[in-house]
Structure formats: C-alpha cells, structure tokens
A and B are shown apart, each in its own frame.
Chain A
Amino acid sequence: MRFRTFFPMLPGCAVLVLGFGAQAASLSVSVTDLAGHPVPDAVVMLEPASGKLPVKPLPVVEVGQMQRQFNPRVTVITVGTPVGFPNYDTVRHHVYSFSPIKPFELKLYAGVPSAPLVFDKPGIAVLGCNIHDQMAAWIVVVDTPHYARTSAEGQARLDNISAGAYKLRAWYAGMGHGEDPVSQALTVAAGDMTANMKLPDAAP
C-alpha cells in the first residue's frame, strides 16, 4: 500500500468572496459516490501541492471495542497521535492490523491495554479482531492540519486554509482495501470554496 500525500487545495471561493485578500479560506467539500449519493464518514484532506504543513498530533484518541464492534469505525488522526484501544466488552479481543503504516497486534486482552499506540506514519490502517471477524475499523492518519469527516449528508468543511495550490484528497471505507484516496488538484483562494469529490466504490 503506497501512501500519497494530500494536496492542500486553495479555496477558490475565497477570491469570489469580495477578494478580502484574506488568507483564510474555507472549503466545503461535498463527497458523493459515483452515483451521486452522499457519502458519510468520508475523510477529506487538503495537502499542499508541494511541501508539508506543520501537523500537531492529537491527544490520545480512543478506538474502543463495544458490543463486539470498534467504535468509532473510522477515526481520523494526525501523525503522531497515540491511539488507545480500550475493550469495553465482557469478552476479550485480539486487535490487530497488518497495515504497513502501523502493523500491530494486541493479543487477547480485556480492559485497557497498557499503553496507547502512536501512529507516526501517515496513511490508512485497517484493524480487525482476530477472534471476531466482523470487527473492522479504519484509522486514517493524516499529515495535514486540514482534514475533516463528512457528515451524514456527505458534507465536510475545512477552514483557515491559506491560499495556494493544494491537493484535495478524499477517501472512504467503501473504496476497498489498498485503494489510494482520490486526489484532486485545487487552488485555494480566499473565501469559501466548494469542491465535489466523487469516490468510487470498491471493485466488485
């Protein structure tokens, strides 16, 4: 699985918004699938076309297991964020991931494992439970401060985007394992911008 950097997209709408000359643009991204249906829980990232923006790790994020499911299913963290995997179920779980960004294995445990794991590589990791095949979660590790998750309507908003050339990248779990996020070049200008991302389904 190769990892592509996000392209930050300059909000084009910023230019339209009276040309404040403001450097903070916002981007409303509407994510739909190929049929036009809104895609909830899609991850949207904006990465500069070149270079990297500084990213701060989040505080400990929890991906818990309750009722034999990961909760949340899709977690977006920045690089370096430690993730904890508390087991709120009465049964034990054996959480693992073979994803290259962070292969790990938490052998059968109950309660909270001793230390959270730090995800220090950008990319998408898929987790599962070895003894519960239906348990699956995704941790999207982004390498840009500009990221969001779409709502149930498939809408996401990115703010405080400096103008410039960006790559707008979007992904959702339905794209299938190993698929790179869909990338779209975007020039952000001041103001609100909207973008549409059409995401393919996983190949049947």
Chain B
Amino acid sequence: MKRAPIVLLAGAFRAWMHRSLGARIVALSLSLLLVVQVVSFVAIRNSIDHNARASIADQLEVGERVLHHVLEQNAQKLSDGATLLAADYGFRSAVNSDDVPTIASVLSNHGDRIGASVAVLLDNGFRVRASGRPDLQPLNGVIAKLALHANAARRHSEIALIDHKPFQFVMVPMRAPVVVGWVLMGFPIDLGLLDNMRDLSSLQVSLQARDNIRSAWKTALSTLPPEASPDVERQASARWPDINMSRSEALSLSLHGSEYSARAVLLNDEGAVSALLMRSVDGAVAPYLHLQWGLIVLTLLSVVVIGSGSVLTARHVTAPIHTLVAAAERLGAGDYDTPLGGQQRRDEIGMLAHSFERMRVSIAGHQQEILKLAYWDSLTGLPNRTQFRNATQDAIAAARTRKTRSVAIVMLDLDRFKLVNDLLGYPFGDMMLKSVAERLSQQAVRGGDLVARLDGDEFAILLTDLETVGDMALARSVAQRIGDAFGVPLTLEEQTVDMSASIGMAVWPHHAADTDTLLSRAEAAMYQAKRLAQGPTMYDPAHDATGTQTLSLLSELRHALAHGELRLYLQPKLALNTAHVVGAEALMRWQHPQRGLVAPMDFIPFAEQTGFIRLLTLWIFEEAARLWQVLNTTGVTLTFSVNLSTRDLLDPELQQTFEAVLVRHAVPAEAFCLEITESSIMDDPQRALATLDRLSGMGFRLSIDDFGTGYSSLAYLKRLPVNELKIDKSFVLNMEKDADDARIVRSTIDLAHGMGLMVVAEGVENAQVWDLLRELSCDEAQGFYMGKPMPAHEFARWCSGWTANHKSINTKPFGADSTFILH
C-alpha cells in the first residue's frame, strides 16, 4: 500500500523528534512562537478589520453630517445671493412693474447672475406670480415645503429634481420695504459640491435620483468614475428602495471587486434624491496592510531569532550532555583516568558533571581494588597466579623479540603445609605463608624477576631475560639459594617450624614453547621433586606424565577402556616350598592400535595422577574376578593379587564397588589379595587405614608392596591389617651376588615372620635366587625365572603345564634341571 509522502514525512519527523532532545527544544520553541504569532496575527487582523469598519462607519456618519452641513452652507450661500439679488433696486422695481414678461425676464437675468437656473416670483401667499421657466409643476412641492420654513431664522433649502437633475432651492423674501413677495431660486447641484464634499470627508459621493419610489435609482452625479455608476445604481436600488426606511441607512456595496461601506442619505422628502456616501474598506484597511506586513516580517524575524536562539539553547543544553555521554562511554570502555569536563558550570548540568566525576573517581578506585584483588594475593601481598601468568607471557614475548634470551620459572610447593595448618592452626599457617613470601622476595634480587603466590602453598619465581647460555644453571642456582633459605627454621610466636619445599624449574624455550606449557612443566618438575623427595628438579620430559600428550593420552585411555584395548596379564606367584602356583599378580597391558603394546610405566603413573587409575583398578579387579570364576569352575583355585593406588585407598566407595564385583562374579573376597605401597598410605594415613580396615573386614587379604622402599614405617606396619609383605625386586634381583641385598632380604623375611606376616619375593630371575629364598624360608616368589606376565588366556594353559611338569617335584631343589619352561 503506497502511503502518502506526507504520512511518511510525519512519521520520520516524529522519530527524529523522539531521538533528539535538542530537536524537541527547538521544535517546541518554534511551534509555540508560531502559534503565538499566528494567533496574534489573526487577532490583530480581525481587530484591524473591525476597527477599520467601525472607523468607516464613524466616518460615514460624520460624512453624513458633513454633507448636511455642506448643503446648508451651500443653501446659506445661495440664499445670501438670492437675498442680495432680491434687494437689488432694479430687480425690485422691475418685479413690481406688474408686467409679467418683464418680471420673467428680470428673474431669469438676475437669476443667471448668481447661477440660479430657476427663479420664480411668489406673492405673500406663496402663489406664483412670475417665473423664469415655463414648467412650474414640479416646483409646487418645493414651494410648499419652503413656505413652511419661510420665516425661520436659518435659511432652509429643498433639494428636488427638475428634468431628472437635482437642484437646491431657496426662497427669500423680497422687501420693498416690507415683504412684498418671495423669490424662489433653484441652483443645480454640481460636481463641485460633491468634490468639495469628498475633499472634506474623503468619502466618495454619488447623488442618486429616481422619478418615484418605485423606480430604480439613477446616478445623477458621482465622484466615482462613470463605469462604477451602473453597479452603484443596481446595488442601491436593491438595498435601499423603500422610502419608508430611515432617512439614512448603512449599506455595504461591492464595486469592481472591492468592498465599500456606504451610507445612503435621503435628501428629499419624496424620496427622489439621495446621496450615497462611500468609503472603500480596502482603502481604509490599506494603511494597516503595512502593519500586517510589518507583523509578517516581525514574525519571520522572530522565527529566525527564536529559531537560532532555541538551537543555541538546545546546543547549550545538549552539548554538555553529549560531553557526559562521551565521558560515560569512556568510563564504559574502561578509561577511568581522563577527568570529565563541564564541572565549571553551576547549574543542573554542572551538578550532573560533578556527580559523574565523583562516580568516575569512585569507579577508578574500585577498579584499582579489583585489579588488586585480581592480580594480587591479599594475604601475602605478592602477585597472584593471574599476574604471574601474564608476566610470564610478557616475558616470553619480550624474549622472543630479543632472540638469544630465555625465561625461567622456579615453582615451589611447601612440604607438609596442611599438617602445619592442622597442628598449629590457620592463623599460624597464614603467618608462615607471609614469612615464606618475605623470604622469597628477598631472594628475588634481579630487577624484572617476579615472586608470586600461585595457590595455597604454591609459590613461583619468574626469571626474565636470561642469557640463553647458562640459563638453566642460573635457574638452578636461584632454586638452590631458595632451597638453602628454607633450611633456616622459622620462628613465629615462640613456635619454631622447620620448613622445606619441593622446587621445580622449567626454562623457555627449552622445556616449552608457550606460557601455559611452561607453567605446567615447572609444576610437573615440582611434583617430581616432591614425589622423589629430592632437591630442586629441572623439568625432564622423561618423567613427565603431564604434557600435551596428556590430554590425548587420557582420551586414548578412555577409549582403550571402552574398546577393550586393555589386557589382563597375570604373573604367577609360586609357593617356594611346593613350587605350586598359589596365585598370580594381575597386571594391565595396553594394546594400543598404533603404538602397539604400551608399557605400564607409560600410562599407569599418569593414570594415578589424573585419578583415572580408579577405573583401571576396577577394570582389573573385574577381569580378575571373571577369570577367577572361570578357573574355579575348572578346579583351579588361586589367589589373585590386585594393586591398589592411593586414589583407590581414598575412595570412600571402594568397598561397595568391590562388593558389587564380587557379587556379580560370585567370587569370595578371600580370593583376592590387595597390594598397596607404604607410600600410598602416607597422603592421608587415617583415611587409608579406615579403608584398609574395611577391606580386611570384607575378607580381602592385604599385602604391602615394594616393602623397604619409599615411606617405610614400622609404626604403621603395626597398625595395618596386612597379611603379607612383598620384598621389592631391587633387593631380590642381585641378592645371589650382593651380600647387602641378601642380608636385607633375610632381615625382611625374619621381620615379617616375626610379625606374623607372609613374605613374597619379587624379581626372581634365576635358580640361585630361588634356592636362596627357599633357604631363607621365603613363602612365595614371583619372577621372570618362573613366569613372565602373560595374557589371561595363556595363564590357564601355563598353569596346567606347570602343574603337570612339577607334580612330581615336591621338595627337590632345583638345580640344573632346566625342564622349566619359562614363559
């Protein structure tokens, strides 16, 4: 539907008005002005019109009086002339000659002298005695009228028509010496009289005559041009026909398109002669046209003035608003430092500007606080992880541009900080952290180096702009210095605490290409140091279970778990005295589609770190249970050993999970032996203990793996509900050669037996060791000599093969009998 352009324009205008305050101000002022101007213009115009008409009406009224006065003056003049004429001796003597023709000639002669075209002699009874003209009939009325006023003090005159022409008649007495008669004189009314009238009154005068009251008016004389006469006659006849109307009447005429106000004055009692006094309304209004034009010009000027004034005002109002808008946008964009303008004003805008400025300052203050919170650690006052990371990024970027430069991170973690917190309280822990922060800050002597608190008890030092040559050595020396600084005990509130920290180092560009990698590598190095309880450790990719490999490794592991890439391998455990297979250690292998068989060392530690180990443990347990059931149905009853990790020990649901598996495969808990390392207990001994108690309560056998390495604690050993010890392979491997190892093994066996525990030796790789162990009364053995870890399906076969081969061999020591098939 096509809309009228005016509608569109109106819509656009309204939209613009809503958008702009300035436009609204301007539009409001201008429209108010225009309304006022238009109203006043209309009012003034109406007033002018009204006043002009009233003025004209007044003028016409005055004009009527002037007309009567002019006529009276004229009558006076005429009768003066007639009187003078009537007193002329010659006239009197001629008139009294009784000779009518003589009298008539004298009358016309003397009449001509004074311009009277009608001269009539009357006797004292106003009867015509002689006349200068033959036709006296029309004069009768005039004579009668004038006779009525003959003796009045003021001269009376009558206006009447003679031959359709208006005449003014006067009658004067003739004295000889007394009034012996009357002289009637008639003077034609000429244009001079009307012109005189017009000059006096500025009115147009038109003398109208009609034969009788029924006929139309005809113009006898007029100051208007002759072309106007027909119009005047027509309108006068139409509007003022009746003699019974008043002697004067106000009319409105229209001549040549312009409007005239008129007054019709009856000059003759019979209604035969009237004068039409006219005034052009336009003419009267004309002077005011100047006023109107002046008003219009004034209106335009005031529109311009007010328009520009209101534009300026609008600008004056909106410009500071724009400034504030810009300032607000700057604030929004984060610029809190540029001061606002416009505060010098005292008015509302100034107040607004002031408030804005205060707000800006306040926000800037808040911003500072936020920055502080965001980038600074509130407790120690050191930069926090975010700032440290950003600084590292900046340092790397700077080093990148300078080519032969490196960036190093030294990351450290306080040892046993949680313990201190528990024992000595959090306030103490906080004070400790603060003093650590102090010590570290003292160590960071190079400008550009940054000491930060990354996390609870984690700190880091950023070494920037190192020369690539010797960068690692420098990092090491810094780390060593720090480590030495920690060697000094801390005394706070009469408590002396020994502090130590695990320190890891990583250097860019050697150990990582970007910031986050560098950070995580330094962290990995730190954890390595913590795990191995060694001094400052440089990052070593070989030991790093974290890395970009990590993420993919995790997903591959998941994939492996879900898609059966994991394999259950079993390494048989044999009783040394009978050489029977009494059990097997359940181990995991990973058949990676690309990489082939992945060694456990490559993913187990990683799994332990990520917690994925729990799923792996569960999987092994499940598979082992399944196999046990299968073997059990074939009559083979063995004890399967499954390794538990730290995470498993800390899992509160471990018991239920295992229970479910046992139930699912209808396997008794006694079929399993759970192997744990001493170290795995150490992270949370209480919880680990609780779990072990529960597992033991379920019927599981428990075994201490890798005994003699890591955190060996006899105190804990006492408390753990374990059933056996496994001597770490490091002692067993070379015990036939190494007397110290042999002694350790013997001591361990005695210790275990003394505590009522069984002993299993790992890493039996030759017959001598087997024999030696037998001699030392070790209970069980496990090793490559007897059997390598093998797939589950092979295990059953191997078992039956072994049993078949060694059925007859009970107590004979092995010697050179090499009928063992070593798998």
Cβ-based interface call for A178 (8 A):
yes
Distance between Cα atoms of A203 and B181 in the complex (Å): 12
Chain B neighbourhood of A136, CB < 8 A: 177-178
- The answer on a CB contact under 8 Å between A204 and B178 is no
Q: Which stretch (B86-94, B555-563, B778-786) binds chain A?
A: B86-94
User: How far is it, in angstroms, between the C-alpha of A178 and the C-alpha of B180 when the chains are bound?
Assistant: 8
**How far does the Cβ of A135 sit from chain B's closest Cβ, in whole Å?**
6
Shortest Cβ distance from residue B126 to the other chain A in the assembled complex, whole angstroms: 9
Q: Are A126 and B176 in touch, CB under 8 angstroms?
A: yes
Which of A100, A129, A176: most chain B CB closer than 10 A? A176
1/0 per residue, CB under 8 A from A, across B113-137: the answer is: 0000000000111000000000000
With both chains docked as a complex, state the minimum distance between the C-beta of A137 and any C-beta of chain B, in angstroms: 9
Q: B92's closest neighbor in chain A, by CB?
A: A98
Option from B89, B123, B179 in Cβ contact (under 8 Å) with A130? B89
**Is B178's CB under 8 angstroms from A126's CB?**
yes
**CB distance B124 to A203 under 8 Å?**
yes
Interface membership of B96, Cβ < 8 A: yes
On whether the beta carbons of A178 and B123 are closer than 8 Å, the reply is: yes
Q: A128 — nearest CB in chain B belongs to which residue? A: B177
The CA-CA distance from A6 to B175 in the complex, in Å, is 28
- A92-138 with Cβ < 8 A to chain B: 96, 98, 100, 103, 105, 126-130, 133-136
Contact A177 B96 (CB under 8 A): no
B125 to chain A, nearest CB (A): 7
Cβ of A128 and Cβ of B176 under 8 Å apart?
yes
B84, chain A: closest CB distance, angstroms: 12
Contact mask for chain B residues 172-187; partner A; CB cutoff 8 A; 1 contact, 0 none: 0001111110000000
B98 touches A100 (CB 8 A): yes
Query: Are A133 and B175 in contact, with the CB atoms below 8 A?
Result: yes
**In the complex, chain B residues whose CB is within 8 Å of the CB of A178:** 123-124, 180
Contact B93 A98 (CB under 8 A): yes
The 8 A CB mask of A125-164 against B (1 = contact, 0 = none) is 0111110011110000000000000000000000000000
Shortest Cβ gap from A201 to chain B (Å): 12
Q: Choose among A96, A98, A127 the residue with the greatest number of B CB atoms under 10 Å from its CB.
A: A98
Q: Is the CB of B92 within 8 A of A177?
A: no
| Interface residue from B87, B93, B151, B178 paired with A177 (Cβ < 8 Å) | B178
| A203 to B179 CA separation, bound complex (whole angstroms) | 11
A100 to B176, CA, bound (A): 13
Contact of B87 among A100, A103, A133, A134 (CB under 8 A): A133
B176 near A98 with CB under 8 A, answer: yes
User: Quick one: given A98-B93, A100-B98, A103-B96, are A127 and B125 in contact (CB under 8 Å)?
Assistant: no
**Is there contact, CB below 8 Å, between A176 and B124?**
yes
Q: Is the CB of B180 within 8 A of A98?
A: yes
**Residue picked from B98, B178, B180, most chain A C-beta under 10 Å:** B178
Which residue from chain A places its CB closest to the CB of B123 in the assembled complex? A178
Chain A min CB distance to B761 (Å):
185
Beyond A178-B124, A203-B125, A204-B151, whether A129 also contacts B177 by CB under 8 A is yes
The answer on a CB contact under 8 Å between B125 and A135 is no
Q: How far is the CA of A73 from the CA of B89 in the complex (A)?
A: 22
Report A178 CB to chain B, min CB distance, Å: 6
Query: Closest Cβ of chain B: how far from A46's Cβ, in Å?
Result: 26
Interface 1/0s, chain A 30-44, versus B by CB < 8 A? 000000000000000
- Measured between beta carbons, the chain A residues less than 8 angstroms from B123 are 178
- Contact residues in B for A105 (Cβ distance below 8 Å): 93
Q: Which residues of A contact B180 (CB under 8 A)?
A: 98, 126, 177-178
A84 vs chain B, min Cβ distance (A): 19
Most buried by A among B92, B177, B180: B177
User: Nearest chain B CB to A129's CB is how many angstroms away?
Assistant: 7
Contacts of B177 in A (CB 8 A): 126-129, 133-136
Question: CA of A204 to CA of B87 in the docked complex: distance in angstroms?
Answer: 21
- CB-nearest residue of chain A relative to B95? A98
Question: In whole angstroms, what is the CA distance A204 to B178 when docked?
Answer: 13
Q: CA separation between A171 and B277, bound complex, in Å?
A: 54
Closest chain-A Cβ to B148's Cβ sits at a distance in Å of 10
Question: What is the CB-to-nearest-CB distance from A27 to chain B, in angstroms, rounded to a whole number?
Answer: 30
Contact A177/B179 with A100-B98, A203-B124, A203-B125 known, Cβ cut-off 8 Å: yes
Residues of chain B lying within 8 A (CB to CB) of residue A130: 89
Q: Which residues of B contact A202 (CB under 8 A)?
A: 124
Residues of A within 8 A of B96 (CB): 98, 103
Kindly report which residue of chain B lies nearest to residue A98, judged by CB atoms.
Answer: B96
Closest chain B CB from A69 CB (angstroms) = 11
- Closest B residue, CB atoms, query A105: B93
Query: Across the interface, which residues of A come within 8 angstroms of B178, CB to CB?
Result: 126, 128, 136, 176-177
User: Which B-chain residue is minimally distant from A202 (CB atoms)?
Assistant: B124
Which residues on A sit within 8 Å (CB–CB) of B93?
Answer: 96, 98, 105
Task: State in angstroms the CA–CA spacing of A105 and B90 once bound together.
Answer: 12
B151 CB contacts on chain A under 8 angstroms: 204
Measured between C-beta atoms, what is the minimum distance from A157 to chain B in Å?
A: 29
Q: Mark A57-91, 1 if CB is under 8 A from B, else 0.
A: 00000000000000000000000000000000000
A96 to B90 Cα, complex, angstroms: 12
Nearest B residue to A126 by beta-carbon distance? Answer: B178
Which residues 156-196 of A have a CB within 8 angstroms of B?
176-178
B408 → chain A closest CB, angstroms: 153
Q: Which A residues are CB-close (under 8 A) to B87?
A: 133
| Residues in chain A near residue B124, CB distance under 8 A | 176-178, 202-203
A25 to B361, CA, bound (A): 153
Q: How far is the CB of A133 from chain B (nearest CB, A)?
A: 6
User: Which residue, B87, B96, B176, B179, has most C-beta atoms of chain A within 10 A?
Assistant: B176
User: A98-B93, A98-B96, A126-B180 given. 9 additional CB < 8 A pairs?
Assistant: A98-B176, A100-B98, A128-B176, A133-B177, A135-B177, A136-B178, A177-B124, A178-B180, A203-B125
Q: List 19 A-B contacts (CB under 8 A).
A: A96-B89, A98-B180, A103-B96, A105-B93, A126-B180, A127-B177, A128-B175, A128-B178, A130-B89, A133-B87, A133-B175, A133-B177, A134-B177, A176-B178, A177-B124, A177-B178, A177-B180, A178-B180, A204-B151
List the interface of chain B (C-beta within 8 A of A): 87, 89, 92-93, 96, 98, 123-125, 151, 175-180
Give the interface of A toward B (CB within 8 A): 96, 98, 100, 103, 105, 126-130, 133-136, 176-178, 202-204
The 5 closest A-B pairs by CB, nearest first: A128-B177, A98-B96, A136-B177, A177-B180, A177-B178
